A and B are shown apart, each in its own frame.
Chain A
Amino acid sequence: MKRGILIIEKLKIIKSNIRLLLGVIIISVIVSLGLLASYITWYQPLMAMEGPPYQPPSLQHPFGTDDLGGDIYTNVIYGIRTSLFVGVLSAVIAMVIGIMIGTLAGYYGGFIDDLLMRIVDMAFIIPQFLLALLIATILGPNIYNITLAIGVTSWPGIARMTRAMILSIKQLTFIEAARVIGLSDTRIIFSELLPNALPPIIPYIALQASSNVLVEAGLGFLGVSDPNVPSLGMLLNDAQQHILMNAWWMSLFPGIFLSLMILGFNLLGDGLIEYMNPRLRRAS
């Protein structure tokens, strides 16, 4: 009887945190695939002529071969690495910039706030993807430039959110107290404000990562990708270019893993938000 209740309790906990759990599982699987890439593949990434071109999936080539005879499975697994790298790193860049700007705007208010928020507004008017496309094209398509381009165009949302958080915390008395005592601004920001403002924002790294992975794939799809590095977007671009060859496997497999990655990050982000704010929980 007791054990039955325990199990039911456990199931309830799992059920209410299902998103988080699923997200963690998916992302862990994906990350391990990426880390173990060299162990689970038997061809070199981006090597052509590993087999005859345009072969449908087989034992030797589980995802088939592409137009140059390269093994798609290998490229997909290594492509996951690239997407993870670009997606997460650019999300981190975006977070850093966004938090910085949001904090400055929220804390100092006044003219600085106005100026920074106008910049944020402007950033909202030019669609992020277009700007990233423009910047990536200007800088040249290699993986660092692309990461930079995406990171530098995805901070506005974070900035606004951070600013809102800072604004709401700023009002709290203990901040007033700190100022009265005479603590320096920097000290206040780093030891009082941020530790309170940041935690709710952290989950958004995951959401940002999911969005950035999509942008990176979109850029790759349009041909803006580093040819020296396998990328899922580039694989989809290949599929589009050779679409008349009826090689559906060139499109299906990269897309599935791309979707999984984005889904994983979304679940992770949503799950974390729920976990930290039980009252926002959309019970299901």
Chain B
Amino acid sequence: MRTSISNKKFLITLISITVILILSLETSYYLVYGETVQPRYGGVLVVGIPSEPPNLVLTGAPTWVYYQVVTPICNSLIDFDPNTLEWVPDLAESWNITVTPDGKMLVIFHLIKNAMWHDGYPFTSADVKYSYEVIGPKFNSFIAGMWKYLEGIETPDNYTVIFKFNTTWGLILYPGYFGGAGTCISPKHLYEGTDIVNNPYNLKPVGTGPFKFAEWVKGQYIKLVRNDHYWKKGLPYLDAIIFKIIPSSSAMALALQKGEIDFVWNYGLTMSDAVALEKMIKEGKLPNLKVWFFPSPGGSIDFLGFNLHPDGPAPLKDVRVRKAIAMAINRTAIAELVYYGKVEPLSKIVPNVPATAMFMPTAKQPDYNPDEANKLLDEAGYKRGPDGIRFRLRLTIDATSYPWYVQEAQLIRDFLKQVGIDVQIITLDTAAWHQTVFRNWDFDMSIFPFVEGPGPAYFIQYFTKRGIVRASWSNAMGFDDPRADEYLFAAEKEINKTKQIELVKKALDIITEDQPGVWLVSRTFIAALNTAFSDELQPGVWENGWGTAYMRPEKIFLKTLPVTTPITTTTPTPTTTSPTITVSTPTPTTTTTSTPPKITTPVPTTPAAPTLSTEAIIAIGVVILVVIIGASLYLVRRRK
């Protein structure tokens, strides 16, 4: 019958259409939200930063705000795997570390051959040599410090660089020297023969990285655009990255809420604002935002340091008093109240993060026990006076760079009050704090935002006698235990990583026993991200002032875009090899310099966005002035 046949046809058509619909929905859904999301090209990432870097010199001064902007523009010799802290290739595709029979060290890098500067010049070993010899020492403290151990740099050909060290300096294994701290390479051809410090390219840098500098509107934003000729083929994915300058944390949080910026990395958001955002996300009010807290990858901690110099306060010279103070402070409460429970109260003196976990000693600090603290203090001979106070101490903090230290200090004051120690809080601004604490040693206790890793360098700097200099970020406590010194100095010269770690651990056990201060809490990093972007925004190895490879900007992409171009990534497969150490006689080397042919492509410049021009304001002011003068003149004339 006609009806039954057409019914059947109808049914079949219906079913097939449904199946096709479901399949296509599924596929498109999968394409957008699926587990293995394919990278797609296009999109602009807007990053919020709280202040402007002073300049954008590629081999420049290591501060975090500078890194965020510079990392996408440039490359270093090597990079670091954020979890293992091993070297991975960047501009150097392979390397060799050699120890000579007379105790010197050669580090040989073999550079890639296809990298190009944004202006078309090819990248060669001459750029590396120039960056490390001329530009670096002027701006970058790592490189400046390196020259104590560096005899010279040789470039036998265009793609080989040899660093000759006068001793086996073990610190080069860690970020800051050959990479991982924004220690990028600068273009020699744009700096040679110029006034380095005032070179215009310090403000409009030319690098080899995935993004090119496009424009910098002071006080508002810095814009980077895609480098279509990036030497890692197929990368980057984004069209542009814009860094918006938003000086206040609440404005930053609001911008995130409104979707006006996509990404904030730690600096620019206070803990309380981030927690407020987190609350809103939990309540479902901000579906496109993700906020996450993670321990500072570089090992930042808050350390309450004691003044142990000969002219320091007498009570602190007694280890029982120091232990008592450690017992009196409830570190968990600090973590809860000041850091919203997002940080780790420290039991051992290093935090459990990639940069320092390897150095975890066996000894730990005393637990929170105010009764025991009271007993110890009585034992040490500091009985309570009629007002309940045993003795007074001053707590000096940098309240400008770390405003939440005021609250931390208040909590410490309250805790110590309960065991009879009266604390007076002295808040200083950054410059004054450095002067008072690090150079004048005029303090009793202070909260130090120390970074404990990676590598033994920090322990040497803060806890050995070598660090007792009147200079910023030094051993202001005056702490010196010769046993710990011995281990740490040996570690510095040890190139075998396992042996090095053992030595450091032994030193840290001794330091824990000595209790030159109280290790309070680790610090947390905050990141906020628009979920439309891929999760390539990984934590980096360093932070704050020592560099951050915080994001692999070349790998970030916008998930909500359609996949248009087939992805043909011919990225060189990373050779994650630990540096191989061989002992051999040095081969004679000759330095050759050649001038590469010049291929010029104009650096794109965009006109500045319209701002409220000075002329406009002056015009308005003049108009008002004229009105007032005119009115008074009129009045005067009327008088007559």
Decide if A and B touch, CB cutoff 8 A: yes
- A residues 208-249 in Cβ contact with B at 8 Å: 223, 227-228, 241-246
Q: Do residues A227 and B273 form an inter-chain contact, with CB atoms below 8 A?
A: no
Please encode chain B, from 470 to 484, with 1 for each CB lying within 8 Å of some chain A CB and 0 for all others. Answer: 000000000000000
Can you report 24 A-B residue pairs in the complex whose CB atoms are below 8 A from each other?
A48-B337, A48-B407, A48-B411, A48-B414, A49-B333, A49-B411, A53-B337, A67-B272, A68-B410, A68-B411, A69-B337, A140-B432, A141-B427, A223-B399, A223-B400, A227-B406, A227-B409, A227-B427, A228-B424, A228-B425, A241-B270, A244-B272, A244-B273, A245-B275
Q: Does A46 contact B (CB under 8 A)?
A: yes
Q: Do residues B425 and A227 form an inter-chain contact, with CB atoms below 8 A?
A: yes
Q: Do residues B403 and A68 form an inter-chain contact, with CB atoms below 8 A?
A: no
CB-based nearest A residue for B336: A53
Instruction: List the A side residues contacting B429 at CB < 8 Å.
Output: 137
Instruction: List the B side residues contacting A241 at CB < 8 Å.
Output: 270, 272, 403
Contact of B426 (CB < 8 Å), options: A47, A67, A142, A242: A142
Instruction: List the A side residues contacting B270 at CB < 8 Å.
Output: 241
Question: How many B residues are at the interface, by size bracket?
Answer: 20 to 34
- Bound-state CA distance A67–B276 (Å) is 13
- Bound-state CA distance A225–B253 (Å) is 27
- Bound-state CA distance A69–B337 (Å) is 8
Additional A-B contacts beyond A140-B426, A141-B427 (4; CB < 8 A): A67-B407, A142-B426, A227-B427, A245-B272
- Bound-state CA distance A249–B480 (Å) is 49
Q: Do residues A47 and B407 form an inter-chain contact, with CB atoms below 8 A?
A: no
Q: Do residues B410 and A227 form an inter-chain contact, with CB atoms below 8 A?
A: yes
Q: Do residues B276 and A244 form an inter-chain contact, with CB atoms below 8 A?
A: yes
- Bound-state CA distance A241–B406 (Å) is 12
Please encode chain B, from 427 to 445, with 1 for each CB lying within 8 Å of some chain A CB and 0 for all others. Answer: 1110010000000000000
Q: Do residues A244 and B410 form an inter-chain contact, with CB atoms below 8 A?
A: no
- Bound-state CA distance A18–B323 (Å) is 63
Q: Which residues of B contact A (CB under 8 A)?
A: 250, 253, 270, 272-273, 275-276, 333, 337-338, 399-400, 403, 406-407, 409-411, 414, 424-429, 432
- Bound-state CA distance A245–B250 (Å) is 10
Instruction: List the B side residues contacting A243 at CB < 8 Å.
Output: 250
Q: Which residues of A contact B (CB under 8 A)?
A: 46-49, 53, 67-69, 137, 140-142, 223, 227-228, 241-246
Instruction: List the B side residues contacting A141 at CB < 8 Å.
Output: 427
Most buried by A among B275, B338, B414, B432: B414
Contact of A242 (CB < 8 Å), options: B272, B411, B414, B425: B272
- Bound-state CA distance A246–B426 (Å) is 29
- Bound-state CA distance A41–B258 (Å) is 43
Q: Do residues A140 and B428 form an inter-chain contact, with CB atoms below 8 A?
A: yes
- Bound-state CA distance A228–B338 (Å) is 18
B165 shortest CB reach to chain A, Å: 45
CB-based nearest B residue for A70: B410
Instruction: List the A side residues contacting B424 at CB < 8 Å.
Output: 228
- Bound-state CA distance A63–B46 (Å) is 41
Q: Do residues B410 and A48 form an inter-chain contact, with CB atoms below 8 A?
A: yes
- Bound-state CA distance A159–B377 (Å) is 55
Most buried by B among A49, A242, A244: A244
Instruction: List the B side residues contacting A68 at CB < 8 Å.
Output: 337-338, 407, 410-411
A174 shortest CB reach to chain B, Å: 40
CB-based nearest B residue for A244: B276
Q: Do residues A47 and B427 form an inter-chain contact, with CB atoms below 8 A?
A: no
- Bound-state CA distance A99–B411 (Å) is 44
**10 shortest A-B CB distances, which residue pairs?**
A227-B425, A244-B276, A244-B273, A242-B272, A227-B427, A48-B414, A68-B337, A48-B411, A228-B425, A244-B250
Most buried by B among A47, A140, A227, A245: A227
- Bound-state CA distance A242–B400 (Å) is 16
Instruction: List the B side residues contacting A46 at CB < 8 Å.
Output: 410
B399 shortest CB reach to chain A, Å: 7
Q: Do residues B337 and A49 form an inter-chain contact, with CB atoms below 8 A?
A: yes
- Bound-state CA distance A228–B423 (Å) is 9
Instruction: List the A side residues contacting B428 at CB < 8 Å.
Output: 140
Instruction: List the B side residues contacting A244 at CB < 8 Å.
Output: 250, 253, 272-273, 276
- Bound-state CA distance A102–B399 (Å) is 39
A158 shortest CB reach to chain B, Å: 31
- Bound-state CA distance A68–B272 (Å) is 12
- Bound-state CA distance A47–B414 (Å) is 6
- Bound-state CA distance A137–B338 (Å) is 25
- Bound-state CA distance A241–B414 (Å) is 22
Instruction: List the A side residues contacting B399 at CB < 8 Å.
Output: 223, 227
B413 shortest CB reach to chain A, Å: 8
